[in-house]
Structure 1
Amino acid sequence: MVPTHLDRRSNSMKHVLLPIDGSTRSLRTIDMVQQTYRPQDTEVTLLMVLPDQMHIDGQFARDRMARKAAQELETFAALLPGWTVRTELLWGSPGPEIVYYARERGFDALVMTRSSRGPLQKLGSVATYVVRNAQFLDLIIMREAAP
């Protein structure tokens, strides 16, 4: 069931943020966007936030992480042919970076998965942070399907 505020019949352009971590779990966000929105009415931004560990790992490791993340973002973008897709890579703490980016860029909705496993566990720490701090937009938290 599609929430009424995300109804496919809406005529206005929607700006949807998909924070992804490169996992297969993140693929579910792509499916949710395809089921909820229309490509002609939606601009999707794929966002990956990497931990800023330069003080520990050094510039070489950071560059390697950035290249790998950029490849993963492009792989996910290719799963949305016919859609307007942007990719963004940020460094920092995922929860605060996601909320800040969503607020600054004026997104209408955010689609993400939880990282906790098992049907009885609560939302992961990043999803919990986003739920508590991103009340300015339509928010979808898509739970991981039970095994």
Structure 2
Amino acid sequence: MKKILLPIDGSVRSLRTIDMVQQIYPNREVEVTLLMVLPDQMHIDGQFTRDKIARKATQELDTFSQLLAGWPVHTVLLWGSPGPEIVHFAREGKFDALVMTRSTRGPLQKLGSVATYLVRNAQFLDLIIMRENEE
């Protein structure tokens, strides 16, 4: 069984990877992990504590996992710098492929910072980076 990693940030763009996984991989052939990485330097004011933010993110991950009904799905929430955390998690978890979208930053910047980091540092797995023209 292939292990597929979907790093998502909750944006509509990142959630389109769920549709792609459903189109590419039969549910009996893959195990999917939805990974959300929250930056350590996230602005936290009086209204929000780190625990509240983590609870909200965990609820979002649970909701997103329901979009993959029929596929074996795990959810993981990490804190840190997204690029390095994703690479470390993928390496330690022995994933086969990573599916994500790229940000649309205009004609000069082909990939966002996280996708660029992954291309440079995650050569041990298959990367599928979808191009998105709309947010």
Superposition TM-score, scaled by structure 2 size: 0.91
Instruction: Look up the match of 1:51.
Output: 39
CA RMSD of aligned residues (A): 2.0
How many residues of Structure 1 are paired with residues of Structure 2 in the alignment? 134
The share of aligned pairs that are identical, in percent, is 76
Q: Which amino acid aligns with 2:103?
A: S
Instruction: Look up the match of 1:40.
Output: 28
| C-alpha displacement of 1:117 | 3.5
Q: Please tell me whether residue 107 in structure 1 is matched to residue 129 in structure 2.
A: no
Which structure has more helix as a fraction of its residues?
A: 1
Residue pair 2:104, 2:133 contacting (<8 A) in 1 also: no
Residue pair 1:15, 1:108 contacting (<8 A) in 2 also: yes
Which has the higher relative contact order, 1 or 2, with Cα contacts under 8 A spaced 6 or more apart?
A: 2
Structure 1 runs, 4 residues or longer, greater than 3 Å off: 116-121
Gapped regions of structure 1 (runs ≥ 5): 1-12
| C-alpha displacement of 1:39 | 0.4
Q: Please tell me whether residue 125 in structure 1 is matched to residue 113 in structure 2.
A: yes
Residue pair 1:14, 1:108 contacting (<8 A) in 2 also: yes
Q: Which amino acid aligns with 2:14?
A: S
Q: Which amino acid aligns with 1:40?
A: R
Instruction: Look up the match of 1:89.
Output: 77
How many angstroms apart in 2 are the aligned matches of 1:80 and 1:24? 15
Gapped regions of structure 2 (runs ≥ 5): none
Q: Which amino acid aligns with 1:29?
A: T
How many angstroms apart in 1 are the aligned matches of 2:56 and 2:101? 21
Superposition TM-score, scaled by structure 1 size: 0.84
